[in-house]
Amino acid sequence: MSMIATGASAGLASLAACTSIKPTISSMAVDCHAHVFLRNLPMPDPRRAPSGYDASSEDFLRILDANGMTHGVLVQPSFLGTDNSYLVAALRKYPNRFRGIAVVDPTVTGKQLDQLQDVGVVGIRLNQIGLPAPDFASPAWAALLKELWYRNWQVEVHQLAQSLKPIVDPLLSSGVNVVIDHFGRPDPKLGINDPGFQYLLTLGATHRVWIKLSGAYRNGADGRGQQIALDALPLLRESYGLQQLIWGSDWPHTLFEKTAFYADQRALLNQWLPDANDRHTVLADVPRKLFRF
């Protein structure tokens, strides 16, 4: 299956008003983690595959505009596998609004990576929930990591905190930058005392790891995830500084569609970072550089 085929672009409707928005740096606000897809797309990875609804790029643009956000980073959903067609179509249609994080097979060619980069892809994602660490020592992975380093692409990692080290250490050794999803997914019972989260705190000094302040609801039910986020913020800020933190909505909140809502997720950032200048750093200064807006 082609990694950048454009057949899925037929589902995109015109929204010309959204393409004309070119915010100034001072007004920039970037949502660094969202997914777009259509219900009729092939979904070879069923682990988190939603059903019965679309989350189109136009839907996401309307959500951004309604919540005062100017840009978005589209992360290829794991359930779409390595067919980045719809992601690529969205990036092509709205180059002033979006950047992309793709999912690729380690045998991907340099030419294919070039094609992805040309439309605004700036990294790849490893969603390893329920999966072992990749064999980074294999020839295919070694070649891919070299290509990523050459392009200065990032590798975004979604894994439970307890299993992060076997993934993150080899990535850092390869020279690539690493972005950690959803506060590092600490254990709901252990919270910030999770040894995996404590490991994350040791990586701030590398200045090559970024943490997404996103998806707190994935780290514990009944408000537990939000409490862990509140506990984690001062520790992350001390270890990483604001220059290594970014925010994401995790829209459309797959598996949590009935309990998580965009406006509420955005409001949580105001609670985590009450100072407007701090929020500007996280929403504008850091993502503008990291995602090359």
pLDDT, tens digit, 9 for 90 and up, residues 138-178: 999 999 999 999 999 999 999 999 999 999 999 999 999 99
Compute how many other C-beta atoms are within 10 angstroms of the C-beta atom of residue 195: 13
* pTM across the whole model: 0.90
Euclidean distance between CA atoms 128 and 132, whole angstroms: 7
Q: What is the pLDDT of residue 2?
A: 43
Backbone angles phi, psi at 286, to 5 degrees: -70, -50
Grouping H, G, I as helix, E, B as strand and the rest as coil, residue 273 is coil
Asked if residues 115 and 137 have their Cβ atoms less than 8 Å apart, the reply is no
- Give me the mean pLDDT over the 72-87 stretch: 96
Asked if residues 128 and 158 have their Cβ atoms less than 8 Å apart, the reply is yes
**pLDDT interval class at 45 (50, 70, 90):** confident
Full strand arrangement of the beta sheet holding 245-247: 30-34, 71-75, 98-102, 121-127, 154-158, 177-180, 209-213, 245-247
Query: Hey, what amino acid is at 65?
Result: D
* Residue owning tokens 């894994």: 159
H/E element, 89:
helix 85-93
